[in-house]
Structure 1
Amino acid sequence: MIRMTIKVLEHNLALAAKTGENQVVVIFDMEGFNLRQYAWRPAAEVVISLIQMYEANYPEILKACYIINAPRVFAIAFNVIKKFLNEYTLGKIQIFKSDPKKWKPALLSNITPENLPKHYGGSLTDPDGNPRYATVVKMGGKVPKSYYTKNMETPENGPKKEYIKAVVKKGHKLTLDYIVAEEGCFLRWDFRTEGHDIRFGVTMRDENGLNSPVVRHRRVAAHQIDESGVVACQAPATYTITFDNTYSMMRSKTIHYCIFVTPPLEKLNILPTDEETQKMSTPDNTPEDIQSEKSSSAGEVEVH
């Protein structure tokens, strides 16, 4: 949801830029919303995350925001939401109940009729006369189950990853140790949380028992976008990955992670051997000979 909203915002900004504009007018049509939807906690948390994302990255692009067909219960929800908005943004928001005679003139004060569906007071209609202009304006609604995907679904043509599911209890942390015995290894991680953020960090303990930070411990929004990374490892050493939930006294966190240490590059047949390197650097070898050696070596590498 967060990523989709960012994509929509960036797309709309690009469209506005083509006309010389740098602001957008937003219409939130609350028709069909009910108390059950407002009371669903994950939805409320997504809305708050969206607001925080907007305030941090797009505060200047909003020209006006019209919330129309707002039911009575919306006032309760908005009292919570507006705590996360600054006064500058609040001043651009207008809320209307289910009275088209009031909100249609307001919309037309900022949007020309030729750019607004007839349903909202403009002149745009579908070829079949649909006043909602549904061929262009995609109305929201219940997401069909056929569109559901699993968080950790892997594309058919992508690399197969085996994810481990774990629950980090409230007030606790999960630590995972990875021993690196040889030089040239890399520590790789990829993880996602369900619904909430978590504090993540990596530390290294060398052969003398001295600890040093590798990735600073910080809270990451892995419920919004996959968190992934890689670091070159020293050896011998032990690398500790920490999923820290000690700051949360009310909620456990579910994570899906894939973490591993790669073998040294030499063992992956990616780098030339010392003998191959010496042969390629010998003056007797012509460029054609070197290219032939490279081609021969490449033919022996098995690609998965």
Structure 2
Amino acid sequence: MSGRVGDLSPNQAAALEQFQKRIKDVYDQLPIQSDHYLLRWLRARSFNILKSEAMLRKHLEFRKRLNVNAILEDWKPPEVIENYLSGGLCGYDREGSPVWYDIIGPLDPKGILMSASKQDFIKTKIRDCELLPPKIFPIAYNLIKPFLCEETRRKIIIVGANWKEVLQKYVSPDQLPMIYGGKLTDQNGDPYCKTMIKYGGVVPKSYYIKDSVDVQYENCITISRGSDHQLECEVLVPNCLIRWQFASDGGDIGFGIYIKTKAGIKQKITEMQEVLLTTRYNAHLVPEDGSYTCEEPGTYVLRFDNTYSILQSKKIHFTVDVVLPEMHTQNLEEQP
């Protein structure tokens, strides 16, 4: 049995029913509320209910953390990503699913890296996934293969010199760009279908942020090698907004946000609740900025993490603000 709607074994049907009961508390948070959607999670973990549940709950936490539900309305990729990040949607496969092309060769990774933040890149890919069906990038496939379940591995095909013939097994020639062995062209006859697929190119240095933006930061600190710096923010009412901007000298820097679990006492970082996952940012190339909505009052701890660096200290320039809910709402209403 395929494990899809209408083709379930008795055990698979029972697993779906139990899965529905276990995630009942978060069902209304799902972007798609259907058996088709739930079965995708079960298939991804070979119908292991506990693993599927854990995976789904982590996904919902991730969506909440990055405000994915509003990303199509509230966020737009920077111009450099719109113009120079290669790839695009073009045609449909033989099963009727849209086909996404990631064109790696002409991509200018250094130019993109110097012109947009890591978060901009991540949000762009999330935005693509919200617009399009999920897609997998088979880059360095042999490195990640041991960590993929069998269901996912079956979705990936690594092809050789016969790649054009293999493509046509899955995509009809009339839906496949001519440059890739099909018959599809743009309306102007372009075999590359450039109105649908972007091919990147060298990013002009005028987009490089570090050289063109002069941000005045309120604070500057030096974090020793193997150390970190913690900044406490007291949030007195729900739905305050913590905003930050930072840049680093000497290399990348980790950044995350925690909330103290006990008020009025000193806590180790391991005793706090992490609310914004600590991630390493290339803030020595592109300044980082962002915000986090504090759903509950408390003591929030912004942590700059250099513990992974055993040789080099980092100088961090930063500005942090706490914005009251009514001021945040007013700012949103004033935006065009």
Q: TM-score, normalised by structure 1?
A: 0.47
Q: Which has the higher helix share?
A: 2
Q: Which has the higher contact order (CA 8 A, sep 6+)?
A: 2
- The structure having more radius of gyration, on CA atoms, is 1
TM-score (norm 2): 0.43
